[in-house]
Every structure is written in C-alpha cells, then in structure tokens.
Amino acid sequence: MAVIAYNEAEVELLARLMRAEAEGDGLEGMLMVGNVGVNRVLGDCLDFPDIRTLEQMVFQRPGGFEATTKGYFYQRARPEDIQLARRVIAGERFHPASRALWFFMPTGQCPAQWYGQWNTGRYKSHCFFAPLVSDCPSV
C-alpha cells in the first residue's frame, strides 16, 4: 500500500531523481534519497508547504533538487530504479533518511545542523537532516 498518491509517470520521475542524486552511493543511498522525496510530499511543513505530488516535489523551485538541472536526470528510468522508487512509495524507510527532508554532500564532516535542521546521520557521501517532530509531525 502506498503512503502517498502517485501515477506511473511520477514513479519514473522519482526513480530518475534517486539515480541522478545518489547512484554513486549505491542502492541504499538511492533509497534514502527516495525517502527524502516521499517525506517532502508527506510533510506539508517548513520548506515544503503545498507539495502534494511527486512531480511538484521533484521540480520544486526554489528549494528543489540540483539534479533536475543536469542532463543525467533526463535519461530514461531503468527497471531497477523504478523498483527502488516503488519501495519508498510503499513506505519503506532507511536510516538515517527515514524522517529526513534534506540532504547534501559535504566536502568534510557532516555539520550538527544545516539551516537549523538536525543531522540524523551520514550514508557514504550524503548527510541527512530532519526536522523536529514538533515542526513537522506528519513526516
């Protein structure tokens, strides 16, 4: 059962985003990017008010994903990437991204906070950040 509404075009969009943002971090890294995307649709809080669909989340401006400005994002989704996207749409969560709304790739250590949001951990090259439950209870 899906935790958010979606259509097949949006599954492919999410799959392309996950690959473009985190292919270098392997399957788990891609799943964590998917968690962040799904959380933004679920959240309706902080930087993501009125984000109701995967398409709105992927192309949000400002505050969206850098990968959407690169050619690699526009390649066709592979079947294995689509399967990963379906897993996070179905509600699978992966620490440290299980409640995260943001991530980035630092040049060094992960900071304790990033724009006021707390670090939940690092997976390979990405640091993940989640809001307080009081700030975003729906994630």
pLDDT in tens, 85-124: 999 999 999 999 999 999 999 999 999 999 899 999 999 9
Q: What is the mean pLDDT of the chain?
A: 96
**R_g of the chain, CA atoms, integer Å:** 14
| Residue 100: predicted pLDDT | 98
Q: What is the rounded CA–CA span in Å between residue 97 and residue 12? A: 21
Whether pLDDT at 63 is above 90? no
Query: How large a percentage of the chain has pLDDT more than 70?
Result: 100
> Can you give the pLDDT at residue 126?
97
Q: Is the pLDDT of residue 8 over 90?
A: yes
- Which tens digit of pLDDT belongs to each residue from 40-53? 999 999 999 999 99
CB 87 within 8 A of CB 60: no
Sequence-ordered list of residues with C-beta below 8 angstroms from that of 49, at least 6 positions apart, any chain: none
pLDDT given for residue 91 in this prediction: 98
